């Protein structure tokens, strides 16, 4: 069995779209502040916001025209042929495989605030086992859980902003605002991208949507609007409490923290009160929402590569009882646990960013190619402000990609090695391949 159940409606798609991303508000973005300060990180965030707004309102055209679980992989195959499909498929898997371990480590860091004797890595591994099991159980159950934790996480962020915004001080916000000058904007870009990374996962749920041609575009639009508002509100209110150093370093000289919002909250309500602990508990929902959601999307991406022969065939099988890609989910969990044990959260964020930016750039190329080559292809949703939005998304993706190579050469080499190994497998294994359903 290789077909997925159609069980997702508009509200659950919004929940997935926001849930994939919302952990980026809770951690990770603060790691860019030592590199660029408040203004450098803000400039990078504005660039990332423009990139994602233009990208999402272009990418939705592809997702509605070709609603398949492989998402960008299927778009690449259709528009750019086998090599393009391979590049987009591998880039997508890199993003989806290495973002969850970084989020799982942050879940461990949040739990460690309550249980200091429990190693964060052990908590992260337990999270992988639990949520892989939930995704294997069924997509309806997984999506319902995702909607619940997403709503809770959005509510918690709004409460956080409501409590910290009244304590905003412009002098604190501007303190050491450009420690490395405007050149610090470029190394901040991977962490600004992290604020929104993952929303494109919604395309991988299209095959399981009851009415993908209508609901996917609505899900993308409503989710993106929600995320932009939350990102800017959290950025300003958390830094404005006590300056950016207060949400990066728990104590002077300490290592950068994976839990910036609790550091900001402690400046407002203290670090031992009931309200502080309640907010941290609910804050875990945001991390869980993104972790669980991207695990869900990663399973679909690996499934499609397996059932078309671009990855081992066993990955392309759907469990006949649950209707979920159990084999792909388990294989992804093995990779994720290995990444957790590497203990390199920053590098995992950057590596997933390389995969994401490759996906964004090549998807826009695929959009242009399909517009020219297949003008009669049914397009229930058409890219906004074509060709300007997709052109801007392509240009901004390339700028961000170049900046990431310049500032993260070691991770760039690791990403290049992954692409080379994937290409070698594709050339040497030569399995019998098939086109995705609906392809021509």
Rounded distance, CA 14 to CA 284, Å? 19
User: Tokens at residue 387, please?
Assistant: 């060709």
Residue-by-residue DSSP string for 269-299:
H-SSSHHHHHHHHHHHHHHHHHHHHHHHHHH
Rounded distance, CA 323 to CA 241, Å? 48
Residue-by-residue DSSP string for 94-125:
HHHHHHHHHHHHHHHHHHHHH-TTS-HHHHHH
Rounded distance, CA 202 to CA 18, Å? 9
User: What pLDDT is attached to residue 4?
Assistant: 54
pLDDT single digits (tens) 56-101: 999 989 988 888 867 889 899 999 999 999 999 999 999 989 988 9
User: Tokens at residue 85, please?
Assistant: 């499909």
User: What pLDDT is attached to residue 438?
Assistant: 46
Task: Give the pLDDT band of residue 359 (cuts 50, 70, 90).
Answer: very high
Rounded distance, CA 326 to CA 329, Å? 5
User: What pLDDT is attached to residue 131?
Assistant: 86
Give the pTM: 0.86
Dihedral sign for Cα 403, 412, 330, 106, please. Answer: negative
Question: How many Å is the Cα radius of gyration of the chain?
Answer: 20
pLDDT single digits (tens) 206-218: 666 777 667 777 8
| pLDDT at 247 > cutoff 70 | yes
Residue for token digits 């918690």?
A: 156
Rounded distance, CA 438 to CA 207, Å? 12
Q: Which phi and psi (to 5°) does residue 248 adopt?
A: -110, -45
Q: Is the peptide bond before 129 cis (omega within 30 degrees of 0)?
A: no
User: Range with the lowest mean pLDDT among 41-55, 304-318, 328-342?
Assistant: 304-318
Residue for token digits 């159990």?
A: 326
Rounded distance, CA 323 to CA 142, Å? 12
User: What pLDDT is attached to residue 78?
Assistant: 95
Residue for token digits 């042929």?
A: 81
Whole-angstrom CA distances from 92 to 3, 154, 217, 359, 439 are 20, 26, 20, 6, 20
The fraction of the chain above a pLDDT of 70, given in percent, is 92
Whole-angstrom CA distances from 18 to 12, 79, 373 are 10, 28, 33
Pick 283 or 108 by higher pLDDT: 108
Q: What ranges make up the beta strands (E) of 82-147?
A: none
Q: CB-side exposure of 129: number of CA atoms within 13 Å?
A: 6
Pick 110 or 335 by higher pLDDT: 335
Residue-by-residue DSSP string for 168-181:
--HHHHTTT--TT-
The fraction of the chain above a pLDDT of 90, given in percent, is 43
Are 332 and 129 in contact by the 8 Å Cβ rule? The answer is no
Q: CB-side exposure of 384: number of CA atoms within 13 Å?
A: 13
């Amino acid at each position: 069995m290789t077909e997925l159940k159609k069980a997702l409606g508009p509200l659950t798609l919004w929940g997935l779209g926001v849930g994939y991303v919302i952990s980026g508000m809770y951690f990770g973005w603060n790691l860019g502040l030592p590199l660029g300060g408040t203004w450098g990180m803000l400039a990078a965030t504005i660039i990332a916001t423009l990139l994602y707004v233009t990208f999402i309102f272009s990418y939705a055209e592809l997702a509605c025209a070709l609603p398949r679980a492989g998402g960008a992989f299927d778009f690449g195959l259709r528009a750019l042929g086998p090599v393009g499909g391979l590049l987009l498929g591998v880039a997508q898997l890199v993003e989806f495989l290495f973002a969850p371990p970084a989020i799982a480590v942050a879940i461990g860091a949040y739990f460690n605030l309550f249980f200091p004797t429990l190693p964060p890595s052990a908590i992260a591994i337990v999270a992988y086992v639990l949520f892989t099991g939930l995704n294997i159980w069924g997509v309806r159950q997984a999506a319902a859980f995702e909607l619940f934790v997403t709503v809770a996480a959005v509510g918690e962020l709004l409460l956080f902003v409501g409590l910290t915004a009244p304590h905003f001080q412009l002098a604190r916000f501007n303190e050491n605002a450009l420690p490395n000058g405007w050149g610090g904007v470029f190394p901040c870009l991977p962490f600004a991208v992290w604020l929104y990374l993952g929303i494109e996962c919604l395309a991988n749920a299209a095959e399981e949507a009851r009415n993908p041609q209508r609901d996917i575009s609505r899900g993308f639009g409503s989710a993106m609007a929600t995320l932009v508002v939350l990102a800017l509100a959290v950025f300003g209110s958390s830094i404005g409490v006590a300056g950016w150093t207060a949400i990066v370093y728990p104590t002077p000289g300490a290592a950068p923290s994976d839990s910036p919002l609790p550091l900001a909250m402690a400046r407002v309500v203290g670090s031992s009160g009931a309200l502080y602990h309640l907010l941290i508990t609910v804050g875990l929902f945001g991390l869980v929402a993104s972790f669980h959601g991207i695990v869900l999307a990663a399973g679909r991406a690996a499934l499609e590569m397996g059932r078309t022969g671009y990855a081992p065939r066993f990955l392309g099988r759907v469990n006949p009882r649950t209707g979920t890609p159990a084999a792909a989910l388990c294989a992804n969990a093995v990779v994720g646990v290995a990444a957790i044990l590497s203990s390199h959260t920053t590098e995992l964020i950057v590596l997933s960013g390389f995969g994401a930016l490759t996906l964004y750039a090549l998807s826009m190329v695929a959009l242009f190619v399909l517009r020219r080559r297949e003008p009669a292809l049914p397009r229930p949703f058409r890219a906004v402000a074509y060709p300007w939005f997709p052109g801007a998304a392509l240009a901004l993706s390339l700028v961000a990609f170049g900046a990431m190579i310049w500032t993260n050469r070691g991770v760039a080499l690791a990403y290049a090695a992954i692409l080379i190994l994937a290409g070698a497998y594709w050339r040497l294994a030569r399995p019998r391949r098939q086109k995705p359903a609906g392809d021509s």
